[in-house]
């Protein structure tokens, strides 16, 4: 079964209501490949989720950038998976490297979050990736495997999981993993899934790339056999996000 190309736009902590309306307008007017070719998800900050959800075209979906690790309650400032479900938000991004690094979210904590969100019926974009120090030490696969294992230990059904490989050294730095570097890690990650989860999960789970993806490099990256799409940061706030969505065509013609 061919894996459907997936393009996610992570808006991070950016935007005013006016700016958000402009981005949504640009997306709504865009000519992009049909839903059977590409799945598009955008992830605005929490406060703009209802605005985006209510105004965005029906063939694009909305994701939260995070959610709490268990049922809501006395957790000031947190947003629970149940609340997202209640608002009809289908997707959530979990384990983004900024949260792992700045907010000290551990592999186990991220694994728990993924399992809980899935149990509530959310679909999850689960992020993994190594720092520059880890890559230079030659431990990329050890790090990525440990991050993935913490998820695999807690998740039995992978049908609602997309893995985002984001080398931390390439996020927002302008440095991009070369198509060969990205393909190598995606291939190793798929082999890890085959060995540690199942051949079926390895074959069907989408592994997308994130890290300074833009209109100029998306076609070559997207053309790699094991790159099933992108999680786009800064460029998702710009019109070039449309070009990145269109890169899904490289798979159709491959």
Tens digit of pLDDT at every position of the chain (254 positions): 689 999 999 999 999 999 999 999 999 999 999 999 999 999 999 999 999 999 999 999 999 999 999 999 999 999 999 999 999 999 999 999 999 999 999 999 999 999 999 999 999 999 999 999 999 999 999 999 999 999 999 999 999 999 999 999 888 788 888 999 999 999 999 999 999 999 999 999 999 999 989 999 999 999 999 999 999 999 999 999 999 999 999 887 65
Q: What does the pLDDT read at residue 174?
A: 81
Q: What does the pLDDT read at residue 113?
A: 98
Q: How far apart are CA 169 and CA 211, in angstroms?
A: 8
Name the region of 45 (left: φ>0; alpha: ψ -120 to 50; beta: rest).
Answer: beta
Q: Which of 105, 130, 134, 166 is catalytic?
A: 166
Sign for the pseudo-dihedral over CA of 187, 192, 194, 195: positive
Q: What does the pLDDT read at residue 197?
A: 97
Quick check: is 82 catalytic?
A: no
Q: What does the pLDDT read at residue 230?
A: 98
Q: What does the pLDDT read at residue 157?
A: 94
Q: What does the pLDDT read at residue 1?
A: 60
**Closest by CA position to 91, among listed 51, 56, 126, 55:** 126
Q: What is the CA radius of gyration of the chain?
A: 17
Distances (CA, A) of 166 to 11, 63, 176, 232: 15, 18, 10, 10
Q: Which of 96, 130, 134, 186 is catalytic?
A: 96
Q: Which residues pair with 10 in a beta bridge?
A: 43
Of how many residues is the chain composed?
254
* 8 A C-beta contact, residue 91 and residue 43: yes
C-alpha angle 248-114-174 in degrees, rounded to nearest 5 = 45
Q: What does the pLDDT read at residue 254?
A: 56
Q: What does the pLDDT read at residue 171?
A: 82
* 8 A C-beta contact, residue 52 and residue 72: no
Quick check: is 186 catalytic?
A: no
């Amino acid at each position: 079964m061919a894996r459907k190309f997936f393009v996610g736009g992570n808006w991070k902590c950016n935007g005013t209501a006016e700016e958000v309306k402009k981005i949504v307008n640009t997306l709504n007017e865009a000519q992009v490949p049909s839903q059977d070719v590409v799945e598009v998800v955008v992830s605005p900050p929490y406060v703009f989720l209802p605005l985006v959800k209510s105004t965005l075209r029906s063939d694009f979906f909305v994701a939260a950038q995070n959610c709490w690790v268990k049922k809501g309650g006395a957790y000031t400032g947190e947003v629970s998976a149940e609340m997202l479900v209640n608002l009809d938000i289908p997707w959530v991004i979990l384990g983004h490297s900024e949260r792992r690094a700045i907010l000290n979210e551990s592999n186990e904590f991220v694994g728990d979050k993924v399992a809980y969100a899935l149990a509530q019926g959310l679909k999850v974009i689960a992020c993994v990736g190594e720092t520059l120090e880890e890559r230079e030490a030659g431990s990329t696969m050890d790090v990525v495997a440990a991050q993935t294992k913490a998820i695999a230990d807690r998740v039995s059904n992978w049908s609602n999981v997309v893995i985002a490989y984001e080398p931390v050294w390439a996020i927002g730095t302008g440095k991009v993993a070369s198509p060969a570097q990205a393909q190598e890690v995606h291939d190793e990650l798929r082999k890890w899934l085959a060995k540690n989860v199942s051949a079926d999960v390895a074959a069907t789970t989408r592994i997308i790339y994130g890290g300074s993806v833009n209109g100029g490099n998306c076609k070559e990256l997207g053309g790699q056999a094991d790159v099933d799409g992108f999680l786009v940061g800064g460029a998702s706030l710009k019109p070039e996000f449309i070009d990145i969505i269109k890169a899904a065509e490289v798979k159709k013609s491959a």
